């Protein structure tokens, strides 16, 4: 019995280690790639080389990476703030002020998730032009202010929030916004953190829509930049790898620093 | 005041067209340009920009760089939305797509027939941007095709450079078999999912996927039939190294695994990237098909510049293109040396960069040869649906190559699919 | 408006009335509804109207339901539909099962380095499309790392034609999707598992249930809502599958097929091609988009039913 369970445990570890290595290896390769030349990368070299400084020099000499990086940060952070505020408020309304009519609206909102974005692109673009928001970060941010997924996510999390607390606050004479703002929201820190990661992740990695809205070089975001860099007839892969790493780094940093909140936040939303 | 100014501008333009320019008007304004390759057409445009700004310091020029698919996506989105904003002043369009844009978005691009002397450009380039006798673009790079080969490997198999001139694809396959036997190297890196070679073969006969009326011509198209057979022969002969995608294909000759590559001349940059192979390469004309009307000259790819009709600085844009791409011979020398960009502007082609022997190609005057072959490319109207046709044909190719269906079935299937695809 | 006490719990505040309740309710959702109506609802309606036209760029022709009829004869569409469904049927279950398995293992407190494993396995989910397609394309090239490795450990004797062969191309995309999304789904399961009290497992162990029985009798039933959630989001994601096929199928220099023999052509890619790669026919493209909506709706409904009836 003892031997069997030991063996079983070993199998489990082997499985987990394999999954871990498979998941992480491409990241390792990306980091290695930043130090190699294009030819070595295509040949599949998996050890560190000495091209890091030349690659970086070329990247920063040829492109205004700082500016592009800042654009991405700006768009992602502003979108994040807007999405969190608007989506959590909406979910609050749907959950704590439930009514038949609003429930219908909620269902309709969820259904829109099924429509592929490609179908909406052209009418959406017409709107952007009509509002004179073409080639502005405002246009990009405004169109993604309400995230259907986040509304759903927040609402799921609110479900486990004890309604008695709200009731008690009302008895104490607190206004509705104060209840939302200083009682409910602070109690759901983990949910907000998880939502923030999700929101940042989607807008940081967003590609198709920024591509259409943003037109000039000084508005460009990281993803647009990396993609144009990687699609040259003969890409400088060493340089591309550095750009890729720079574009991935913020996500990795944010996830590492907030991952405990992230898991807790999702845990809160999946509680029934 | 504004109206007066534009009147004056128009007046000046008329005067300059008549060729009796008295005063040089100072050009002002901002031009936005969309292009896609950071190692090719972007630096070429940057060079043009630098030259133009030296003459017109008040003109601001922004070159926006993005992936090619992205240029097309944006162009379509903006044009289709009917918006008055959001387009660049000048945009690079791939030649295969030119007619599509010109016909799907009537009036979107500026008619340049009178502004530019098109006789100075390669005939096949102006043909593809002509609609109802009006010419809409400024021809840029040529994709004149050629057989790029490794002198050393072919010599080892007993071939001299002359043996590669004036040959057919079948002869080339025979050469490949000998190369394989003697040296163990593959003749070509070859991607059976890529229809590029079919287009090279077709254009060498002056044919395309469509007839003169623009109707699909697939099943009874001799060029396509031959091309399909050659694809299968190539796959069956064992002389190719199968690749997928650009990187593998480039790697196949950069690594020295294959002895030759047949494609457009824009590949030179990638060939030269492997510096250790300097002096080992040579260039010969494209093989031809076993058909009467097939010649040893063809084309793959290439692109041209278009000015959008809604540009706020249309005159400046025209002037910019005219003084650079349609006049500056020295400019063409510079981009040939710098980016290996072979322009289709004929007067530039006796310049020093064209006539200089290239040590990388064993002292061959590569660009002089390519320029000469370029003039012989049979003009073809690419029509509206090149990519639909390519997709239809390449969708049946795997089954045909594997022998699951015969040629007639394959082409009939492709024809049906194409008809459906282009229905309106 | 009269009393509706069920919907409006009396929270004990004297001035609290039904109309106030609704006013606040509408106010809280107003911003989101406004944004969604403008940037979601309007485009949806607009593209529905568009789907009754056939177009060549700016030139349009009203066809009514003609586009829907055309669909049935369109072989490319049928192939895209088939490919998409293959991805859905094969990849989604494998990925979800894998995610569930890993989550179960990581939920076991006896396993060491759980945090490390969890972080590492989730990491792929933070990469962007551009990043991961660039990396994967290089790794799965004929002489890329993957083939080199498999040859070295003697698992294969000739390189696998990953992106060259229609069959393997699909496999490659499935591997990539699994890499990217397994960790993401795992996090949801892991979170769900933390809400299951340990005592349930302890009790089961005392009753002599083995690991598999615990998994099948406790884990799966209790996680059902989350499994349903991940299944539906994965369904939506797979039916709108676009990024991977387009980026993995850089068919040589100039190819217009998506993957060898169009083996990677999905419905979403076809929509994109109809808009931007081919002669732009936005009306027909919109029609196909609504076909996706219908299929997703049907599949979600089926999944709901399946989950409900097993209870």
Name the nearest CA neighbour of B356 among B340, B346, B348, B367.
B367
Cβ contact B66–A211 (<8 Å): yes
Cβ contact C166–B398 (<8 Å): yes
- Minimal CA separation from C278 to chain B, in Å: 6
B257 contacts: CB under 8 Å, gap ≥ 6: B185, B186, B189, B241, B251
Kindly list the residues from chain B whose CB atom is less than 8 angstroms away from the CB atom of residue A229.
Answer: 38
> Tens digits of per-residue pLDDT, C204-219?
888 888 888 888 888 8
Output the pLDDT for position B245. 73
Output the pLDDT for position B138. 97
Name the nearest CA neighbour of C78 among C270, C243, C260.
C270
- CB atoms closer than 10 angstroms to residue C251: 30
Kindly list the residues from chain A whose CB atom is less than 8 angstroms away from the CB atom of residue B64.
Answer: 215-217
Pairing of strands B90-94, B29-35: parallel
- Minimal CA separation from A36 to chain B, in Å: 15
Using CA atoms, how far apart are residues B389 and A246, in angstroms rounded to an integer?
A: 40
Output the pLDDT for position A126. 80
Put simply, whether A119 touches C (Cβ < 8 Å) is yes
* Nearest-by-CA chain B residue for A123: B81
> Tens digits of per-residue pLDDT, B17-44?
444 443 456 788 999 999 988 888 999 9
Using CA atoms, how far apart are residues B412 and B416, in angstroms rounded to an integer?
A: 6
Task: Grade residue A115 by pLDDT with cuts at 50, 70 and 90.
Answer: confident
Q: What is the ipTM of this complex?
A: 0.86
Put simply, whether B165 touches C (Cβ < 8 Å) is no
Cβ contact C164–B242 (<8 Å): yes
* Nearest CB to B85; choose among A38, A42, A129: A129
- Minimal CA separation from C55 to chain A, in Å: 13
Q: What is the pLDDT along chain C (311 residues), one digit of tens a residue?
A: 333 334 445 555 555 677 888 889 999 999 999 999 999 999 999 999 999 999 888 888 999 899 998 888 888 899 999 999 999 999 999 999 999 999 999 988 888 898 899 999 999 999 988 788 888 888 887 778 898 889 999 888 888 888 878 899 899 999 999 999 999 999 999 988 888 888 888 888 888 888 888 888 888 888 888 898 899 889 988 988 887 887 776 544 455 677 777 888 999 888 888 888 888 888 999 999 888 888 888 988 888 888 775 44
C28 vs A173, residue with greater confidence? C28
Kindly list the residues from chain C whose CB atom is less than 8 angstroms away from the CB atom of residue A262.
Answer: 187
Name the nearest CA neighbour of C289 among C273, C302, C305.
C273
* Nearest CB to C252; choose among B69, B245, B421: B245
- Minimal CA separation from A50 to chain C, in Å: 20
Kindly list the residues from chain C whose CB atom is less than 8 angstroms away from the CB atom of residue B71.
Answer: none
Kindly list the residues from chain B whose CB atom is less than 8 angstroms away from the CB atom of residue A133.
Answer: none
Put simply, whether B220 touches A (Cβ < 8 Å) is no
Put simply, whether A81 touches C (Cβ < 8 Å) is no
Output the pLDDT for position A259. 82
Tokens of A74: 């700006």
Kindly list the residues from chain B whose CB atom is less than 8 angstroms away from the CB atom of residue A39.
Answer: 254, 273-274
* Nearest-by-CA chain C residue for B255: C143
Name the nearest CA neighbour of A35 among A47, A54, A52, A53.
A52
Domains in chain B (CATH in brackets) are 26-143+300-359 (3.40.190.10), 144-299+364-421 (3.40.190.10)
* Nearest-by-CA chain B residue for A208: B70
* Nearest CB to B39; choose among A215, A216, A232: A232
* Nearest CB to A87; choose among C32, C271, C286: C32
Cβ contact A230–C187 (<8 Å): no
Domains in chain A (CATH in brackets) are 54-270 (1.10.3720.10)
* Nearest CB to A227; choose among B67, B77, B84: B67
Domains in chain C (CATH in brackets) are 73-309 (1.10.3720.10)
Cβ contact B245–C75 (<8 Å): no
Put simply, whether B255 touches A (Cβ < 8 Å) is yes
Kindly list the residues from chain C whose CB atom is less than 8 angstroms away from the CB atom of residue A122.
Answer: 47, 50, 275, 282
Cβ contact B246–C56 (<8 Å): no
Hey, which residues does B127 pair with through a beta bridge?
none
Put simply, whether B421 touches C (Cβ < 8 Å) is yes
Are B277 and B226 within 8 A, CB to CB? Answer: no
Kindly list the residues from chain C whose CB atom is less than 8 angstroms away from the CB atom of residue A232.
Answer: none
Pairing of strands B29-35, B59-65: parallel
Extract the residue ranges of chain B whose pLDDT is less than 50.
1, 12, 15, 17-23
Kindly list the residues from chain B whose CB atom is less than 8 angstroms away from the CB atom of residue A228.
Answer: 36, 38, 65-67, 70
- Beta-carbon pairs below 8 A across chains A and B: 86
Are A261 and A193 within 8 A, CB to CB? Answer: yes
Q: Measured on CA atoms in the order B131, B134, B136, B142, is the torsion positive or negative?
A: positive
Encode chain B in three state secondary structure: CHHHHHHHHHHHHHHHHHCCCCCCCCCCEEEEEEECCCCCHHHHHHHHHHHHHHHCCCEEEEEEECCHHHHHHHHHHHHHHCCCCCCCCEEEEEHHHHHHHHHHCCCCECCCCCCCCHHHECHHHHHHCEECCEECEEEEEEEEEEEEEEHHHHHHCCCCHHHHCCCEHHHHHHHHHHHHHHHCCEEEEECCCCCHHHHHHHHCCCCCCECCCCCECCCCCHHHHHHHHHHHHHHHHCCEEECCHHHHHHHHHHCCCEEEEEEEHHHHHHHHCCHHHCCCEEEECCCECCCCCCCCCCEEEEEEEEEECCCCCHHHHHHHHHHCCCCCHHHHHHHHHHHCCCECEHHHHHCHHHHCCEHHHCCECHHHHHHHHHCCCCCCCCCCCHHHHHHHHHHHHHHHHCCCCCHHHHHHHHHHHHHHHCCC
Kindly list the residues from chain B whose CB atom is less than 8 angstroms away from the CB atom of residue A233.
Answer: 37, 39-40, 246, 266, 269-270
| A135, burial (CB in 10 Å: exposed 0-12, middle 13-18, buried 19+) | middle
Cβ contact C129–A207 (<8 Å): yes
Cβ contact C76–B421 (<8 Å): yes
Are B285 and B161 within 8 A, CB to CB? Answer: no
Q: Across all residues in chain A, what is the average pLDDT?
A: 88
Kindly list the residues from chain B whose CB atom is less than 8 angstroms away from the CB atom of residue C275.
Answer: 73, 76-77
Output the pLDDT for position B323. 95
Put simply, whether B36 touches C (Cβ < 8 Å) is no
Residue with tokens 């990491």: C123
The CA–CA distances, whole Å, from A136 to A68, A139, A140, A205, C304 equal: 14, 5, 7, 18, 42
Put simply, whether B249 touches C (Cβ < 8 Å) is yes
Chain C residues 5-64 within an 8 A CB cutoff of chain A: 7, 9, 11-13, 16, 21-22, 24-29, 31-33, 35-36, 38-44, 46-47, 50
Put simply, whether C178 touches A (Cβ < 8 Å) is no
Output the pLDDT for position A140. 93
Output the pLDDT for position C256. 66
- E-strand spans in C22-175? 53-56, 59-62
Helix (H, G, I), strand (E, B) or coil at C62: strand
CA B167 to chain centre: 23
> Tens digits of per-residue pLDDT, A45-87?
888 999 999 999 999 998 999 999 999 999 999 999 999 999 9
Q: CA angle, corner B207, sides to B202 and B211, nearest 5?
A: 135
- Minimal CA separation from A134 to chain B, in Å: 7
Chain A residues 222-261 within an 8 A CB cutoff of chain C: 223, 226-227, 230, 237, 240, 244, 247-248, 251-252, 255-256, 259
Average the pLDDT over A123-141 and give the result: 88
Put simply, whether A212 touches B (Cβ < 8 Å) is yes
Chain B residues 45-84 within an 8 A CB cutoff of chain C: 69, 72-73, 76-77, 79-80, 82
Name the nearest CA neighbour of B224 among B188, B199, B194, B206.
B199
């Amino acid at each position: 019995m003892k031997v069997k369970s030991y063996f079983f445990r070993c199998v489990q570890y082997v499985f987990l280690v394999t999954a871990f290595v498979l998941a992480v290896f491409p990241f390792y390769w990306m980091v290695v790639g930043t130090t190699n030349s294009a030819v070595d990368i295509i040949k599949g070299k998996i050890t560190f080389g000495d091209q890091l400084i030349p690659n970086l020099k070329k990247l920063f000499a040829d492109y205004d990476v700082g500016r592009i990086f800042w654009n991405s940060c700006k768009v992602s952070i502003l979108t994040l703030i807007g999405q969190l505020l608007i989506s959590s408020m909406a979910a609050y309304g749907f959950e704590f002020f439930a009514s038949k009519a609003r429930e219908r609206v909620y269902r309709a909102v969820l259904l829109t998730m099924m429509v592929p974005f490609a179908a909406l692109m052209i009418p959406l673009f017409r709107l952007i032009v009509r509002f004179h928001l073409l080639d502005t970060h405002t246009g990009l941010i405004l169109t993604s202010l309400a995230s259907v997924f986040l509304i759903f996510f927040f609402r799921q999390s609110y479900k486990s929030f004890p309604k008695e607390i709200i009731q008690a606050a009302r008895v104490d004479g607190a206004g509705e916004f104060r209840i939302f703002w200083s009682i409910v929201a602070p109690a759901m820190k983990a949910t907000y953190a998880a939502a923030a990661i999700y929101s940042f992740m989607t807008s940081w990695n967003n590609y198709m829509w920024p591509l259409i809205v943003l037109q000039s070089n000084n508005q460009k975001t990281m993803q647009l930049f990396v993609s144009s860099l990687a699609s040259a007839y003969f890409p400088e892969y060493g340089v591309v790898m550095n750009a890729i790493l720079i574009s991935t780094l913020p996500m990795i940093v944010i996830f590492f620093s907030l991952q405990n909140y992230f898991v807790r936040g999702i845990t809160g939303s999946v509680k029934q | 005041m504004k109206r007066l100014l534009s009147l004056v501008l128009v007046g000046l333009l008329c005067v300059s067209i008549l060729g009796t320019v008295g005063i040089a008007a100072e050009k002002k304004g901002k031009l936005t340009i969309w292009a896609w390759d950071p190692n090719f057409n972007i630096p070429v445009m940057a060079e043009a920009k630098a030259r133009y700004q030296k003459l017109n310091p008040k003109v601001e020029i922004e070159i926006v760089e993005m992936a090619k698919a992205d240029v097309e996506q944006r162009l379509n989105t903006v044009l289709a939305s009917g918006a008055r904003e959001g387009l660049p002043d000048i945009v690079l369009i791939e030649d295969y797509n030119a007619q599509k844009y010109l016909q799907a978005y009537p009036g979107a691009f500026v008619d340049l027939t009178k502004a530019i002397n098109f006789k100075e450009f390669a005939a096949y380039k102006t043909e593809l941007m002509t609609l109802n006798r009006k010419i809409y673009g400024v021809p840029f790079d040529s994709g004149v095709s050629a057989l790029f080969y490794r002198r050393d490997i072919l010599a080892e198999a007993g071939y001299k450079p002359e043996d590669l001139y004036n040959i057919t694809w079948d002869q080339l396959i025979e050469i490949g078999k000998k190369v394989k036997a003697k040296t163990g190297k593959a003749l070509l890196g070859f991607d059976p999912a890529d229809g590029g070679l079919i287009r090279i073969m077709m254009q060498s006969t002056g044919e395309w996927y469509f007839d003169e009326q623009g109707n699909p011509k697939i099943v009874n198209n001799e060029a396509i039939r031959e091309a399909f057979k050659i694809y299968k022969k190539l796959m069956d002969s064992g002389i190719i190294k199968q690749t997928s995608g650009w990187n593998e294909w480039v790697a196949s000759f950069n690594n020295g695994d294959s002895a030759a590559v047949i494609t457009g001349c824009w590949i030179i940059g990638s060939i030269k990237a492997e510096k250790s192979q300097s002096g080992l390469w040579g260039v010969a004309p494209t093989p031809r098909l076993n058909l009467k009307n097939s010649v040893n000259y063809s084309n793959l790819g290439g692109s041209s510049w278009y000015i959008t009709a809604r540009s706020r600085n249309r005159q400046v844009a025209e002037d910019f293109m005219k003084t650079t791409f349609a006049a500056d011979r020295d400019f063409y020398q510079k981009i040939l040396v710098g980016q290996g960009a072979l322009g289709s502007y004929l007067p530039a082609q006796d310049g020093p960069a064209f006539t200089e022997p290239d040590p990388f190609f064993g002292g061959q005057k590569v660009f002089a040869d390519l320029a000469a072959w370029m003039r012989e490319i049979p003009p073809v109207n690419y029509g509206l649906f090149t990519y639909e046709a390519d997709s239809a044909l390449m969708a049946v190719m795997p089954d045909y190559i594997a022998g699951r269906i015969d040629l007639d079935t394959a082409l009939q299937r492709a024809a049906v699919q194409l008809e459906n695809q282009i229905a309106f | 408006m009269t009393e509706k006490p069920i919907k409006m719990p009396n929270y004990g505040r004297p001035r609290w009335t039904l109309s106030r309740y609704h006013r606040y309710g509408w106010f809280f959702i107003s911003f989101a509804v406004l944004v969604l109506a403008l940037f979601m609802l309007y485009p949806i309606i607009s593209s529905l109207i568009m789907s009754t036209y056939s177009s060549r760029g700016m030139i349009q022709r009203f066809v009514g339901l003609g586009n829907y009829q055309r669909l049935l004869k369109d072989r490319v569409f049928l192939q895209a539909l088939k490919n998409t469904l293959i991805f859905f049927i094969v990849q989604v279950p494998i990925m979800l099962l894998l995610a569930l398995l890993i989550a179960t293992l990581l939920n076991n407190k006896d396993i060491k380095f759980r945090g490390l494993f969890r972080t590492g396995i989730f990491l792929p989910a933070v990469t962007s499309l551009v990043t991961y397609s660039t990396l994967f394309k290089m790794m799965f090239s004929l002489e890329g790392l993957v083939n080199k490795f498999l040859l070295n450990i003697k698992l294969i004797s000739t390189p696998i034609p990953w992106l060259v062969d229609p069959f393997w191309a699909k496999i490659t995309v499935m591997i990539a999707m699994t890499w990217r999304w397994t960790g993401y789904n795992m996090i949801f399961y892991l979170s769900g598992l933390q809400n299951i009290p340990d005592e349930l497992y302890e009790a089961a162990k005392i009753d002599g249930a083995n690991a598999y029985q615990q998994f099948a009798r406790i884990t799966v039933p209790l996680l059902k809502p989350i499994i349903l959630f991940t299944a539906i989001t994965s369904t939506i994601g797979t039916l709108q599958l676009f990024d991977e096929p387009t980026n993995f199928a850089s068919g040589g220099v100039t190819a217009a097929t998506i993957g060898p023999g169009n083996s990677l052509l999905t419905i979403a890619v076809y929509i994109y091609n109809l808009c931007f790669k081919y002669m732009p026919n936005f009306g027909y493209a919109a029609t196909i988009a609504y076909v996706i909506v219908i299929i997703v709706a049907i599949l979600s409904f089926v999944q709901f039913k399946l989950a409900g009836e097993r209870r």
